[in-house]
Structure 1
Amino acid sequence: MKRLIALSVACLLAFAVSAQKKPKINQAEKLRLEGKLGEAKEIIDAAAEFEKTKIDGKTWYYRGLIYAALDTTSNPTYKNLASDPLKTAMESFKKADELQKGSSEYYISGPGGLPQLKSQQVQGLWGYYLNKGVEAFQADNKEDALVWLNKTKVVSPKDTTGYIYAGSIALAAEKYDEAAENYYALINDLDFHSKDAYNSLIYIEGSINKDNEKSLEIIRQAKVKFPENLDFAKSEVATLIRMGKSEEAKDGLVAAIAKEPSNAALHFQLGIMEEELGNIEEAKAAYVKATEVDPDYFNAAFNIAVLYYNEAVNLITEKNNLGISKADIAKAKEMQTEIDTKLKKALPFWEKVLELQPEERTALETLQYIYLQEKEYDKAEEVKARLEALPEKEEG
C-alpha cells in the first residue's frame, strides 16, 4: 500500500512538471511597455529557466530590457525587485548576443512602428545615465553624479566619456582613489591619453598619496606621449629633486646629450634642471645651447630671455631702494651699468620670442620697456601699437 502511494505521488509530480506552461516572453515585453515591471520580471525570470525559452536569444534580449527598466524606473514599487538590475540587464544583453542567429539585430517596434534596434536602446540607456550624471553635477550633487556616471561604464565599458567625467568629479569631490581608478582605466585600459588625465594622476600620486616613485613613473609616461610639453619636464625635475635624485637626473641628461648633441629638447631639459637647482648660469648656458641647435626653439628662447630680464628687474628693485648718500648714488650708477648689460643680453632673445610668436603679449610688453630704457623710442612706439592691436586680455 505504501509503495502504491509513493508511486502515485511520483506520478503526480511528473505530471506537474510536464504540465508546466511555457513562459510567454512576448507577454513579458508587453507588460514592460505597460509599466507593469513586477509581472514582466516574474515571467521573464521563469523564461530564463525554462528549457525551451532559455536557449532563445530573444528571451535574454527582453530580460535585458526589463531589468534596464527596473534600474531606471522612478516607481518605488519596483526599485527593490532586483539587487543589481543594470548588471543583470547587461549580462542578459550579452547572453542574447551569444545566442543570436544570423546577422539581423534584435529590435522592438517603436513609435510609428519604426524598429528600435538593441544597439540603439543600449546607446539610449548610456545617454540616459550620462545626462543624469551631468544634471546631478550641475546641481552640485557630486555623490549622485558619480553613481550615474559609473552606470555609463557598466553599459559601455569602452566609451571614455563616463571615465573622463567620473574622474573629474571624483577629483573635485576629493575622492582621490576613485578619481585615480578612472584615470588609470583611461590611460592603461582604453588607450586614451590626455594631459588632464596625466596631470591628475601626477597630483594624486605625488601630492595626495606622497608616492614619488609612482608619480615619477606617470610623469615619464606623460613625457613619452607629450614630448614637447614643458610642464611634464618641469614636474620630472621637481620630483627628482624632491626625491634627492637631482644628480642622478642631471647625469642622465648629460649622458643623453653626449649621445644626441643635436637634440635641442635635451639641452632645454638640462636648462630646466639647472634652473630648479638654482644654477642660473648653467641654466642659461643650456638654454643658449638649445637655441644654437634649434634657432626656432621657442621655449628655450623664452626661458633665457626671462632669466636675463628677471636679473635686471632684481637689480632695478635693489637700486630703487638705495638712499641719497654719495655712496648710494655711486652704487646706483654702477648698478645702472649692470642693468643695461642685462637688458641688452635679454633683448635679442625677446626679439626672437616675438619673431616666433608675433602676438606674444609678454614679449611685446617686455620689449616696449627695454626699448624705452635703451632710448630706442621708434621701436618702443612700434611695439606699443602692436600691443594695442591685440584682442582684449580675458580676465581669469
Structure 2
Amino acid sequence: MKKLLLSILIVGSATFANAQKSEVADAKKKWNIFAFAGISQAYDKKMTALNDGLVNTDKAIANEKSKDLPEAWVYRSLFASAIAITDTVSEANSLAKQKIAEEAIVKAKALDTKNADKDNIATAEINIRNAVFGRGMRAYKSKDYPTALNVFEQMIVFNPQDTAMYLNAGVTAKLVKNYPKAIGHFKKVISLNSPDSRALYAEIIDMTLRELKDTVAGLAEVKAALVKFPEDGDFIGTETDIYIAKGDIAKSQESLSKLIAKDPNKAVYHYLMGGTYYKQALNMQDERKKIDSKKVKEFNAATAKMTELIDQSLPFYKKSLEIDPKFVPSLETLKQIYAFKNDTANYEDIKKRLDAIPAN
C-alpha cells in the first residue's frame, strides 16, 4: 500500500512539474499568436490576450520547478512590457507593468547565460522605452509639461546620444520656465552636431539675455555661437547690441572692422557697423524724451548728438546698398532715418525700392 502511494506521489509530482512547464509553453504560444495578430486587434482584445499570457508567467515563476527557467522570465518581460506600451487608459497600470517587465528583464538576462533569448529581451527593452515615450507624449499633448519633462529625461538615460530626446527635454523645460535646464539640454544637442545648432544657439542666447537677464553669460554664448557660425549677421548684431548696452562701442566697432577688412563685400557687415552709431542715436532719443520741455538747451543738445550719430551711420548703410541694392535691413533703417530728417525725396526713393522687393 505504501509502495503504491509512493508511486502515486512520484507520478503526481512529475505531472505537477510538467504542468508548470506547460505554463511557460502556453505563454510562449500566446506570445507568438499575439505577435502575429495582436497588433491589428481591438484594444480590449489586445489587453485580454496580454494579461492572459502574463498570468501564465505568474504561475510559472511561482513554482520551484520552473521559476529558474529563462523563458519564464523572458516571456514575462514581453507580456508585461507590451501591456505597459498598450495601456494608454491607466497610467498607473502601465507603470506597474513596466516595473514587472524591468524586473523580469534583469532576471532573464541572469538566467539566459547562452544568450538564446537575447532578441526577445531586446524587444522587451524597446517596448519599455516606447511605453515611457508614449507617456511623455501624452503628457506633453495634455500640457502636463512637468511630467513630460521628467519622462523625456528618462528617455535620455535610455540613450544618452538621442538628440531628439534632448531637444524634447529642452523645449519642455523652456515651457515650464526652467531656463537653465533648457539651455543645458540644447547645448547637449549642439555638442552632438545637430543640424539645428544655429537655431538652438539663438534660443540659448535669447533665454540667457531675455529670461535670465545675464549679459555676461549672454555674451559668452554669443561668442560660442560665433565660433561655429563666424559670419552670422544675427549673432554679430547681438554681440554689437551687448557692447552698446555696456557702453563699449569701441569693442563692437573693433570686431566689425576686422570682419569688414576680411570680407569688405558683405553688405551685412557694413549694415551692422552703421548700427553701432544708429543704435546709440536711438538710445539718445530715449534719453531726450526724459528731458523737461522747458530745458530747451539740453533738448537741442541731445537732438544735435542724435543727428551726429545718425550722420555717422549713413555711409555704412549706403555702402551696404552699393554691395546689395536689395538688402532690406539697410533699406528699412534708411527709411526711418530719412523720415526723422524730413528728407522727403530720399524717403520716397527708399520706400519705392522697398515696395519693389517681392514679399517672401
Length-normalised TM-score, structure 2? 0.60
Q: CA deviation at 1:74?
A: 4.8
CA distance in 2, matches of 1:216, 1:370: 29
On the 8 A contact 1:167/1:183 being kept in 2, the answer is yes
The answer as to 2:354 corresponding to 1:352 is: no
Q: Quote the residue 1:27 is aligned against.
A: 29
On the 8 A contact 2:167/2:186 being kept in 1, the answer is yes
Q: CA deviation at 1:349?
A: 0.8
On the 8 A contact 2:28/2:75 being kept in 1, the answer is no
| Structure 2 counterpart of 1:295, from 261, 264, 268 | 264
| Distance verdict in 2 for CA 1:183–1:60, change over 3 Å | farther
Q: CA deviation at 1:164?
A: 1.4
Q: CA deviation at 1:350?
A: 0.7
| Distance verdict in 2 for CA 1:150–1:91, change over 3 Å | farther
CA distance in 2, matches of 1:322, 1:187: 50
After superposition, residues 90-169 of structure 1 pair within 5 angstroms as 99=115, 122=126, 126=130, 130=133, 133-146=136-149, 148-150=151-153, 152-153=155-156, 158-169=161-172
Q: Quote the residue 1:308 is aligned against.
A: 277
Number of residue pairs matched by the alignment: 330
CA distance in 2, matches of 1:62, 1:137: 30
CA distance in 1, matches of 2:209, 2:338: 43
Deviation digits for residues 5-48 of structure 1, max 9, x if unmatched? xxx9xx97x96699454221423425895534444224346479
The answer as to 2:161 corresponding to 1:194 is: no
- Whichever structure has more helix as a proportion of its residues is 2
| Structure 1 counterpart of 2:74, from 60, 64, 81 | 60
The answer as to 2:348 corresponding to 1:381 is: yes
Tell me which amino acid in the other structure corresponds to 1:26.
K
CA distance in 2, matches of 1:301, 1:283: 13
User: Which secondary structure does the structure 2 equivalent of 1:296 belong to?
Assistant: coil
CA distance in 1, matches of 2:308, 2:320: 19
Tell me which amino acid in the other structure corresponds to 2:145.
K
User: Higher relative CO (CA 8 A, sep ≥ 6), structure 1 or 2?
Assistant: 2
User: Which secondary structure does the structure 2 equivalent of 1:99 belong to?
Assistant: coil
| Distance verdict in 2 for CA 1:176–1:137, change over 3 Å | same
| Distance verdict in 2 for CA 1:130–1:355, change over 3 Å | farther
Structure 2: any 5+ residue segments left out of the alignment?
1-5, 39-44
Q: Quote the residue 2:84 is aligned against.
A: 70
User: Which secondary structure does the structure 1 equivalent of 2:247 belong to?
Assistant: coil
| Structure 1 counterpart of 2:54, from 2, 21, 41 | 41
Deviation digits for residues 52-108 of structure 1, max 9, x if unmatched? 952x6x973773353231354257695575462464587699899x83599xx77xx
On the 8 A contact 2:166/2:186 being kept in 1, the answer is yes
CA distance in 2, matches of 1:92, 1:358: 71
On the 8 A contact 2:205/2:222 being kept in 1, the answer is yes
CA distance in 2, matches of 1:375, 1:383: 11
| Distance verdict in 2 for CA 1:196–1:93, change over 3 Å | farther
Q: Aligned-pair RMSD on alpha carbons?
A: 5.8
Q: CA deviation at 1:302?
A: 2.3
Q: Percent identity?
A: 22
Length-normalised TM-score, structure 1? 0.56
On the 8 A contact 2:226/2:232 being kept in 1, the answer is yes
Structure 1: any 5+ residue segments left out of the alignment?
1-7, 107-116, 236-268
Tell me which amino acid in the other structure corresponds to 2:28.
N
The answer as to 2:173 corresponding to 1:170 is: yes
Deviation digits for residues 274-324 of structure 1, max 9, x if unmatched? 6454243564455345323321344542232123334556479859x7989
